[in-house]
Structure formats: structure tokens, C-alpha cells
């Protein structure tokens, strides 16, 4: 009987980890979508975006120096703070 309880506990932990993994994947997808909007490429045709991502994948796999340059540029961009929205800015957009 103690073994059955232990198995049940392990299965519960596995399910919890799978749920957490799915939650992380969903957050990452949302983060990527925000980045696409933030760098203003959301208007680009999906085929072009996919082609660009395939090119990116190939370059990351074959060009270490370029990957390092892109990594540095991305980190620099992501560290920038977006300007805080003020009441005046919100009213101008409306």
C-alpha cells in the first residue's frame, strides 16, 4: 500500500510539472507576440516571417559569430525600458 501512495504522489507531481510546462510555453508564445508588436513587424506577411525564421534558424546553427552578435543585440533591446504611459499620452492616442 505505501508503494501505491508513492506512485500516486509521483503521478500527481508529473501532472503538476506538465501543467507548469504548458503554462510556460503559453507565456513564451505571448512574450514572442509582444516582441513582434514591439518591434513593429506584425504587419509583415506570415510567409515572410516564417522564411525569416527559417533563415535565422539556419544562421544560428552555422554561424557562431553572427549568433553572438544577434544575442548581444537582443539582450540590449530587451533591457531597454518602454516609456511609461502617462495620462497625457493615453489621451493623445484616443
Confidence of residue 86 (pLDDT cuts 50, 70, 90): very low
Q: What is the pLDDT of residue 81?
A: 58
Domain-embedded: residue 7: yes
Are residues 49 and 28 part of one domain?
A: no
Domain-embedded: residue 26: yes
Are residues 74 and 55 part of one domain?
A: yes
Are residues 13 and 34 part of one domain?
A: yes
Q: Which domain, by its residues, includes 4?
A: 1-43
* Total number of domains in the chain: 2
Are residues 35 and 60 part of one domain?
A: no
Q: Chain-centre distance of CA 70, in angstroms?
A: 16
40: left (phi over 0), alpha (psi -120 to 50) or beta: left
Are residues 50 and 24 part of one domain?
A: no
The answer to whether 61 touches 70, Cβ cutoff 8 Å, is no
Q: Give pTM, 2 decimals.
A: 0.63
Q: How far is the C-alpha of 74 from the C-alpha of 77, rounded, in Å? A: 5
Amino acid at each position: 500500500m505505501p508503494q501505491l501512495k508513492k506512485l500516486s504522489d509521483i503521478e500527481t507531481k508529473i501532472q503538476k510539472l506538465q501543467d507548469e510546462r504548458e503554462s510556460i510555453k503559453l507565456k513564451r508564445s505571448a512574450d514572442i507576440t509582444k516582441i513582434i508588436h514591439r518591434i513593429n513587424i506584425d504587419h509583415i506577411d506570415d510567409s515572410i516571417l516564417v522564411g525569416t525564421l527559417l533563415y535565422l534558424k539556419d544562421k544560428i546553427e552555422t554561424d557562431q559569430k553572427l549568433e553572438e552578435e544577434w544575442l548581444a543585440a537582443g539582450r540590449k533591446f530587451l533591457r531597454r525600458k518602454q516609456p511609461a504611459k502617462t495620462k497625457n499620452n493615453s489621451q493623445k492616442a484616443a
